[in-house]
Amino acid sequence: MGIRGQLAVLVGGLVAICLIGAAFAAAENRRQEEIEQMRIRSERVLDAIGVTVAVFVAENDMAGLDTLIAHVSEPGRYPDLREISVLDAETRVLAHSQPERFNQLASDDFSRSAVVHDGVVWTCDGKLLKVAVPAVSGLRWATVTASYSLERLEAAVAASRTRWLLMSLGLAATLALALFLGLDRLVVRPLRSLQQAARRMGEGDLKSRVPPLRTHELGELSGAFNRMASALQHERDNLEHTVSERTRELKQANERLERLAVTDGLTGIFNHRRFQEALAQEVLRSTRSSRPVSVLMADVDHFKRFNDTNGHPAGDELLRRLASVLAAELRATDLLARYGGEEFAVVLPDTGKAEALQAAERLRSAVDRQLNAEGEHTRRVSISVGVATFGTDGDGPQALLAAADRALYVAKNRGRNQVVAASLEVG
């Protein structure tokens, strides 16, 4: 849809919305007035009936009371009346337009409210108007309640609303047509030539130009458009080259940053951050699939003494070799990370406590065997390992990690170079 159509629809639509809103508001106002008039009329009728009802109840003339209610509820006497009843102070039905309701308790909120109020009570409940008045003859002897149908009233309001709606739509359509024809002559035709030139440029024809337009404002617009087109081809070539180069550089930089973000710079294995992410993911997966996951916490025994004796460069080299030995003993699905300092952590997916203990012992043995060549170091290299399994030793990532860490320190306290499984009693 072009600009003329859009503006015509917009203005016509706004006018239609305003008129329709006014029509609905007027119809609703009329509806409220009609309901109020019906309420007033029903109050007068019930007030008149209430005096007679009070006399019948005071004299305990139930037959007369039934006759009165039957007379009032005769078909055609009050067209909108649906039911009428007389209630005592305990909401017991003394008389009703439906005889089978006699002597029952009215349990609805309206009836309970009506019998305790001294004046008129009414409510508009869906398509029913309910009104209640006290039956008074010296004293209050009962309460008269009646329900009136609002169907006829609603039908009249709907018919009025429809008439207003049709009138509003007709007026809006007339305004939209007039606006459509005026915009076509004054705006759309001059702009169409500019649109066609822009479309050709969008399709790659950068030599496309706009012919001079007659009106002052559109003439300035066409001149600016042509000057822009002259410079666009040169700028496009430069921009494409620059974007291509920057995209390549950005991709390489992002790849480097991603590797650095999850890799330990000294050992080349995953770092503490990646370990925490992997542990949280595996615990979540274990929760969903009910499959086990275990964690190992390993620490180099007497690493500070090793550094003091052999020097920090030798300590760094030891950590690199240790990472290589541990990685070679793990499965492809396991995740090895440097937790911090001389501590290493391992996530073992789909691994229960017994299998995790075997894996930990395999790591400890490999370190003891491969990093203690004769005469290589002045102090023997070994690791202590703590083992924890999700569900058994912890119900969350941090609890599981804490259990493995406590088991690691038990291994340290028991003499190092050994594997200890976590338990609820550890620590």
Residue at 202 is within a domain = no
Q: Based on the domain organization, do 58 and 144 belong to the same domain?
A: yes
CA distance 300 to 341: 9
115 & 143 share domain: yes
Tell me whether residue 199 is in a domain.
Answer: no
235 & 299 share domain:
no
Q: Say yes or no: 108 and 225 in one domain.
A: no
Q: What percent of the chain has pLDDT over 70?
A: 88
Neighbours of 352 (CB within 10 A): 16
Under DSSP, is residue 337 helix (H, G, I), strand (E, B) or coil? strand
- The pLDDT value given to residue 30: 81
On whether both 225 and 347 belong to a single domain, the answer is no
pLDDT at 88 over 90: no
Choose the catalytic residue: 277, 342, 361, 425.
Answer: 342
Instruction: Give the Cα separation of 346 and 89 in Å (integer).
Output: 79
227 and 305 together in one domain: no
What the block records as the tokens of 260 is: 């650095």
Residue 165 inside a domain? The answer is no
Tell me whether residue 160 is in a domain.
no
Q: Of 302 and 116, which is predicted with more confidence?
A: 302
Share of the chain above pLDDT 90, in %: 33
Query: Do 27 and 133 share a domain, yes or no?
Result: yes
| CA dist., res. 311 & res. 284, Å (int) | 42
Q: Beta partners for 388?
A: 295
Position 277 scores a pLDDT of 95
Rounded distance, CA 407 to CA 388, Å? 8
Same domain, 247 and 284: no
CATH code, domain carrying 395: 3.30.70.270
Higher per-residue confidence, 186 vs 140: 140
Structural domain contains residue 378: yes
What are the φ and ψ backbone dihedral angles of 137, each rounded to 5 degrees? Answer: -145, 85
Band the pLDDT of 182: cuts 50, 70, 90. Answer: low
203 or 390, higher pLDDT: 390
Q: Is residue 163 part of a domain?
A: no
**Does 342 qualify as catalytic in the annotation?**
yes
State which of 154, 177, 194 marks the end of a domain.
Answer: 154
pLDDT beyond 60 at 426: no
Reported as a single tens digit per residue, the pLDDT across 292-318 is 999 999 999 999 999 988 899 999 999
Residue after which a domain boundary falls, among 232, 262, 292? 262
The residue among 114, 136, 154 that closes a domain is 154
- Does 127 share its domain with 10? yes
Say what the pLDDT of residue 344 is: 97
Task: Examine the domain organization and report whether 328 and 255 are in the same domain.
Answer: no
195 within a domain of the structure (yes/no): no
Mean pLDDT, to the nearest integer, of 345-350?
96
> Lowest-pLDDT range, 51-55, 170-174, 226-230, 335-339?
226-230
Residue type (1 letter), 27: A
CATH code: domain of residue 56 = 3.30.450.20
CA torsion angle for 224, 230, 235, 237 (degrees, to 10)?
Answer: 150
Q: Nearest Cα to 55, choosing from 73, 67, 43, 70?
A: 67
pLDDT tops 80 at residue 200 = no
Measure the CA–CA gap between 100 and 214, rounded to whole angstroms: 87
Residue 1's pLDDT is 58
Residues 248 and 120 in one domain: no
Is the domain of 17 the same as that of 127? yes
Beta strands in 350-399 (DSSP E): 383-389
420 by Cβ neighbours in 10 Å (0-12 / 13-18 / 19+) ranks as buried
Domain that holds residue 143: 3-154
What is the structure's pLDDT at 427?
A: 44
Number of residues written out for the chain? 427
Distance CA 54, CA 60 (A): 10
**Is residue 193 domain-resident?**
no
Count of domains in the chain? 3
Residue 27 tokens read as 């119809």
Query: Which of 117, 120, 94, 97 is CA-nearest to residue 106?
Result: 94
